[in-house]
Structure 1
Amino acid sequence: MTMTGAEDTAVRGGPLWWARRRSAVFDSGLGLVSAVECAVEGVPFARDAGIPVAVGVVFGLLAGSVLVVRRRWPIAVVLVAIAITPAQMGFLMGIVGLYTLAASELPRRIIASLAGMQLVGTLIVTFVQVRQSMNRGSLTLGDWFVPFAAITTSLGLTAPPLLLGLYVGARRRLMESLRERADSLERELQLLAERAEERAEWARNEERTRIAREMHDVVAHRVSLMVVHAAALQAVARKDPEKAVRNAALVGDMGRQALTELREMLGVLRSGVGVERAAASVAVGVAALVVEEGEGPCLAELEELVGQSAAAGMVVDLMVEGEVRSYAPEVEQTAYRVVQEALTNVHKHAGGAKAQVRLAHRVGEIAMQVENGAPPEAGSASSAGLPSGGNGLVGMRERVVALGGVFVSGPTEAGGFRVSAVIPAS
């Protein structure tokens, strides 16, 4: 099987135009046999032509040695074989040259033309030889034998190598096509594997981010309220001040530690470092939270959420505009989480500030806005000592954008902070 293109150049190890050394040795051997044959056949040719025998032998050697270049110039080999056919020389050259020509990548019309020329030449020469033999009395058969012998001989010397060469050439091209197709499939499989790995990595990152966002939304708000309640208890306890202060401080410390650990765990999940090591504990915590939360919060629980913040000492108002209706679960859960995280941020960063929650049911979308004023006292924003990981706004934006919505947050002119989001209804 021959090879072409870059592969041919890469594996070529033979001399000159041969792809392999064994091919060069084989063609050299054929050329030597052909040269010897033509040299032997050149003796009677020289006698019949009336030229010196040495000239006939040299002519036969030169003509027969042309078979060496059959792979590089198959047309030249066939033309030489046709040219020396009248001298009754080069039978091996004609057979091998025609086979090589038929197996090559040359156009079919060229192969057919040269094969026809060789067939006609062999037919004429055989016809003349048989006729001369019958005239000399060497053959005593009828006249029918002359055309029969000529046709049979010419077809026998032309048809088999031509058909075999066509078959070998077609099989070679088929194998090359199959090899190229296999290489193409291998490249495609490799590309698909790389894309699958990229998709898997993307899915792992998305799942890591989703787990971090869910844990932040579900846990951070409640722990934040616990810290706020503990701070209030610490401030108003009167019956046993020392014990109340110690217990309240203990609750506050536990809440702060929980939030700090949660922030560290969220950082691990988002960065991807040590995910395998933390996977077991995270999975247990998420499973427990999912069981507790059920199918997730909805907008019907928004009033209860605002009530929890009010119970913690925040002055917060809830305003609902438009006709109340139900939405897809992911839309309602996202809207709830946005309000939840915004109220949590008010507890963390603007303790004592008044907050306002607005929910608007519009045609084809739902809008929400949480706005708080400036803290009443300087430094009160951090009076509870609540740690912040900076992931709240990022998580809200990711949730809203994932549903095709718009999220905007930033400080107000009055010194407060505003969080706004619009989510398509479907």
Structure 2
Amino acid sequence: MTTTGEHHAPARGGPCWWGRRRAAALDLCLGAASALECGWQGVSFAGEAGIPVAAGVAFGALAGSALVLRRRWPIAVVLVAIAITPAEMGFLLVVVGLYTLAASELPRRIIGSLAGMSLLGTLIVTFVRVRQDMAHEGLDIGDWFVPFASITTSLGLTAPPLLLGMYVGARRRLMESLRERADSLERELQLLAERAEERAQWARNEERTRIAREMHDVVAHRVSLMVVHAAALQAVARKDPEKAVRNAALVGDMGRQALTELREMLGVLRSGGDGVRAERPAVPLAAVGAAAAAAASRAAGVGVPADGPSLAELEELIGQSAATGMVVALSVEGAQRPYAPEVEQTAFRVVQEALTNVHKHAGGAKTYVRLAHRVSEIAMQVENEPPPDGASPSAGLPSGGNGLVGMKERVAALGGVFVSGPTDAGGFRVSAVIPASTR
């Protein structure tokens, strides 16, 4: 940014302080024209001052050529114009110098001071010259004419270039401000596009994680029970045919339930409307987190299906585990009341996964399921004793190690607290507290 407020791009290769070759050519032409004008006026100045004509012409040409420096040193150009005003030189130098000064980025007090000096100098010189000419010609127009002519001439020579320069400078600054604002908006749009892509990627990752959790809950629990029942069926097939028939019926029921839940999840993935979408809406990056993900899911109806498992099915879930021979004791504290679907489904999944882990790692161990309905939260705890001696701890069931992680993620997504770990007696305890976001 130069003092004239022009934005120079060095890449354009302008000579010296000029940013453009066109600007350099214009200033050189103006400087040459001003030098010729002042040189021609230097002839009459030399006659009046009693100096050689060549000296007057050289002085005028040198003073006029200062206009070439108008973009670099506008103050110097105006001072030169003021200095040669008594010699009645430099009309072009004054006009262009004042215009350049007014269009520059210099403080307004400096511009006003130099413009006032130029106005005063022109006023005095014009006043003296008009009086001399009237006296020489013997004209008697009136005392009012000399001040009128002086003021009119000085204002006409000073005001137009000054006002035009101020207008051009203000317009230039406005255009630069608009360009900067446009660049800023472009950068903001680019940043928003990048954030939108990040949000979309985050939403896809969150959806994949959610689907993986659902698949794990359904497959791990149902199939684990089916494996346990199948092992029991194999053991009693010959000894107790009736019990074998019951176990076979339970295996079939669990298989059908698993298929039903899998179909529901696949339906969510296939559907693109009807209030259920397969991808989460975009949310601000500052809200990315488990709680924000749960809020986005609730707002958009995204998540597990609305007709998924609830606390009303908890007794049936415990009954299925008891049917495998596990001793499960359920205790409920407080008055049961309806909760938001995601709260009930999360509570159900926590108990379900905890029971699955007991089947895998502590087969035959006595298990206690505790559910507490409190004023502002719902708490659940699943604790098992050490497995009895001689019991197979895993019944040949594989473990992916994601069960506890999935439970913690589910609870944290609703703003709850999840704790798990071994007990002093050698068993294992899973505890969770979820805010009771009732309907």
1:23 corresponding residue in structure 2: 23
Change (3 A) 1:371 1:4: farther
Distance in 2 (alpha carbons) for counterparts of 1:4 and 1:183:
22
**Alignment equivalent of 1:283, drawn from 266, 269, 272:** 269
Partner of 2:215: 215
Task: For 1:295-306, list aligned pairs within 5 A.
Answer: 295-306=307-318
Question: Does the alignment pair 1:421 with 2:401?
Answer: no
Cα-to-partner distance string for 1:374-400 (whole Å, 9 max, x where unaligned) = 2334571232x2222222111111111
**Displacement of 1:69:** 0.9
Q: Bigger shift: 138-147 or 171-180? A: 138-147
Deviation track 1:291-330 (CA, whole Å, cap 9, x = no partner) reads x975222222211111111112211111222333333332
- Give the 3 Å change call, closer, same or farther, for CA 321–78 of structure 1 in structure 2: same
Q: Distance in 2 between matches of 1:215 and 1:190?
A: 37
1:318 partnered with 2:304: no
Corresponding position of 2:373: 361
Alignment equivalent of 2:358, drawn from 317, 342, 346: 346
Displacement of 1:157: 1.3
Match runs of 1:9-408 below 5 Å: 11=11, 13-137=13-137, 144-238=144-238, 283-284=269-270, 295-378=307-390, 380-383=392-395, 385-408=396-419
Gaps of 5+ in 1: 263-278
1:70–1:77 CA contact under 8 A, matched in 2: yes
- Shift of the alpha carbon at 1:93? 0.3
SS of 2:350's equivalent in the other structure is helix
Letter in 1 for 2:329: D
Write the letter of the residue equivalent to 2:190.
Q
Measured at CA, do residues 233 and 360 of structure 1 come closer, stay the same or move farther in structure 2, by a change above 3 Å? same
- State the Cα distance separating 1:139 from its structure 2 match: 6.1
Deviation at 1:412, TM superposition (A): 2.5
For residues 112 and 238 of structure 1, what CA distance do their matches in structure 2 show? 114
Aligned residue type for 1:236: V
| One-letter amino acid of the structure 1 residue matched with residue 28 of structure 2 | S
Between the aligned partners of 1:110 and 1:418, the Cα distance in structure 2 is 82
**Unaligned 5+ residue runs, structure 2?**
277-301
Cα deviation, residue 51, structure 1: 0.8
More moved, 11-20 vs 77-86: 11-20
Distance 1:395 1:325 in 2: 26
In the alignment, the residues of structure 1 paired with residue 36 and residue 194 of structure 2 have an alpha-carbon distance, to the nearest angstrom, of 60
The residue matched to 2:137 in structure 1 has which SS? coil
Kept in 2: contact 1:46–1:55 (CA 8 A): yes
Q: Which whole-Å CA distance do the structure 2 matches of 1:92 and 1:127 have between them?
A: 20
Deviations along 1:262-286, one digit per CA (max 9) or x if unpaired, are: 9xxxxxxxxxxxxxxxx98982599
**Shift of the alpha carbon at 1:219?**
3.5
Q: Residue type of the partner of 1:338?
A: V
Measure the CA separation in 1 of the matches of 2:3 and 2:40: 37
Structure (1 or 2) with the greater helix fraction: 1
Report what 2:289 is aligned to: none
Whether contact under 8 Å (2:4, 2:101) holds in the other structure is no
Return the offset for 1:142: 5.4
SS in 2 for 1:366: strand
Mapped to 2, the partners of 1:318 and 1:307 lie a distance apart of 10
Question: Shift of residue 194 of structure 1?
Answer: 2.1
- Structure 1 vs Structure 2 CA RMSD: 3.3
> In 2 relative to 1, CA 194–419 (structure 1 residues): closer, same or farther, beyond 3 Å?
same
How much does 1:99 deviate?
Answer: 0.4
Deviation string 1:54-84 (CA, Å, 9 cap, x unpaired) is 1111111211111111111111111111111
| Cα separation, 2, equivalents of 1:143 and 1:326 | 103
Helix, strand or coil: the match of 1:357?
A: strand
**Distance 1:240-1:368 versus aligned 2 partners, 3 A rule:** closer
Corresponding residue SS for 1:420: strand
The TM-score with structure 2 as length reference comes to: 0.81
Distance 1:227 1:280 in 2: 24
Amino acid at match of 1:310: A
Per-residue deviation, 1:373 = 2.2
| Distance (whole Å) between structure 2 residues aligned to residue 194 and residue 299 of structure 1 | 42
Query: 2-side partners of 1:351 and 1:140: how far apart?
Result: 130
CA contact (8 A) 1:353 1:374 kept: yes
The 3-state SS of whatever aligns with 2:383 is strand
Contact 1:31–1:66 (CA under 8 A) maintained in structure 2: yes
Displacement after TM superposition at 1:218 (Å) = 3.0
Amino acid at match of 1:362: R
CA distance in 2: counterparts of 1:69 and 1:45, whole angstroms = 24
- On the 8 A contact 1:12/1:18 being kept in 2, the answer is no
**Superposition deviation, residue 155 in structure 1:** 1.9
Query: Are residues 123 and 174 of structure 1, via their aligned partners in 2, closer, same or farther at CA, if it must alter by over 3 Å?
Result: same
1:351: Cα distance to partner? Answer: 1.9
- Is the contact made by 2:81 and 2:94 (CA closer than 8 Å) also made in structure 1? yes
**Amino acid corresponding to residue 69 of structure 2 in structure 1:** V
Whichever residue aligns with residue 269 of structure 2, its letter is A
CA spacing shift, 1:191–1:285, aligned 2, 3 Å: closer
Following TM superposition, by how much is the alpha carbon of 1:48 offset from its aligned partner in structure 2, in angstroms?
A: 0.8
| Matched-pair contact (CA < 8 Å) for 2:419–2:430 | yes
Instruction: Check whether the contact 1:37–1:90 (CA below 8 A) recurs between aligned residues.
Output: yes
Amino acid in structure 2 at the alignment position of 1:173: R
Which residue does the alignment assign to 1:273?
none
Matched length: 395
Letter in 1 for 2:423: T
